[in-house]
Amino acid sequence: MRLKLLTAILLFVPGMLFSQTTSVADWFKHPSLAAAAQFIQGYNFQEQKFTPRPLAMLKTSFGDSKKGISADFILDVATGRFLTVAGQWQPVPQIGVRVGLQKMLFLYDNTFAPYMYGMMGYSQATSFLAGYSSDLTHINSRSRDVGISLNGAFWSQEGGYYTLSYAVGVFNGNGNNFVDNNRAKDIHARLVFQPLRQLKISLGAMNGYYIVPEGESRPNGGHHHSDEDLSCRQRVSAGVWYQSRTLFARAENIYGITDGMHSNGFMAIVGGNVAPRLQLAARVDNFKLDLADPLSASTKLDICFTHHLTNDGTLYYAIQYGHTFYSDPARPGTDLIQVCLNIAFLRNL
């Protein structure tokens, strides 16, 4: 019954959005096309192993995301899977409706790509608790889910920002799959307070359920039994974000419960422009996989140098070095160096 109700909502809302336009042509105003390709080559000194990591995405957008109706489509070219298929209706700044495959809402770090704060890759906490390849649920959805969300902002300020913004949504909890696979739904919420143009404070939470994929084990050691055998996952996040023309500093803490196992991660980044087109950033990244096990913690120290070859940031290369410390004395530390070349373009059609 719940699945039928959600399906009805997903079918009704786009129809409602279309009915608000004066013509079909309005929906296709301001089309744009963007493409980005990243070539990342990593080398692990302990394993003496090279690890290539190519990434390529294609994005097309229609409409104005700040007013009226808009739509976004993002395709992961390497896997052939869509990362975003979503429509947005924003009649007023205070309330908007977004429907489809979209990013998870509970984590503010998720609204940025790592390169936007001078790093290659997200923090350990984001990787383990927000739906990426290391996620404890074994669901690698690139932090996406299918659902419907409300979003908006209040108290417009000079400088083009709002003092308070929010997002809340209901999702399938099955990653980037339009087919729901369980009877439960995930609830996400995020609140961002911006007292100054340069400063933001974020709070987020998520409560939901998931099915352990076939062949995978639960964090507590159990295994998948049936499609009705649901595991609980809960997430809470809090962050502080500072950004000026030349400096930035960001910190976020993520606490998670995955099938009864408690985890916590904290990351802090500081960086800035050391010269025109040259950026330097450093990150401290701590993650405690199981708070009941003192030997399950790891701490990464990363430093990244980025050289933008164009003023618009569409072409740049970056070099990042990172060392990981483990609380388990039997586990030696690891050293990883990565080199990245990024090529992108954006064209209004």
pLDDT confidence of residue 64: 75
Task: Tell the burial category of 79 from Cβ atoms under 10 Å away from its Cβ (0-12, 13-18, 19+).
Answer: exposed
Tokens of 284: 């401290």
Q: Round to whole Å and give the CA distance between 190 and 58.
A: 27
Residue 161 makes CB contacts below 8 A (sequence gap 6+) with 194, 197
> pLDDT, tens digit, for every residue of 54-86?
888 898 888 877 778 889 899 988 888 888 899
Radius of gyration of the CA atoms of the chain, in A? 21
pLDDT lower than 70: segments of the chain? 1-30, 115, 174-183, 213-229, 349
pLDDT confidence of residue 349: 60
pLDDT confidence of residue 177: 63
pLDDT confidence of residue 8: 39
Q: Round to whole Å and give the CA distance between 124 and 115.
A: 16
Assigned architecture for domain 2-20+27-348? Beta Barrel (2.40)
Contact 196, 240 (CB under 8 A): no
Phi, psi of 5 (to 5 degrees): -65, -45
Q: What is the pTM of this model?
A: 0.82
pLDDT confidence of residue 22: 39
CA triple 139-49-324, angle to 5 deg? 65
Contact 221, 260 (CB under 8 A): no
Task: Tell the burial category of 246 from Cβ atoms under 10 Å away from its Cβ (0-12, 13-18, 19+).
Answer: exposed
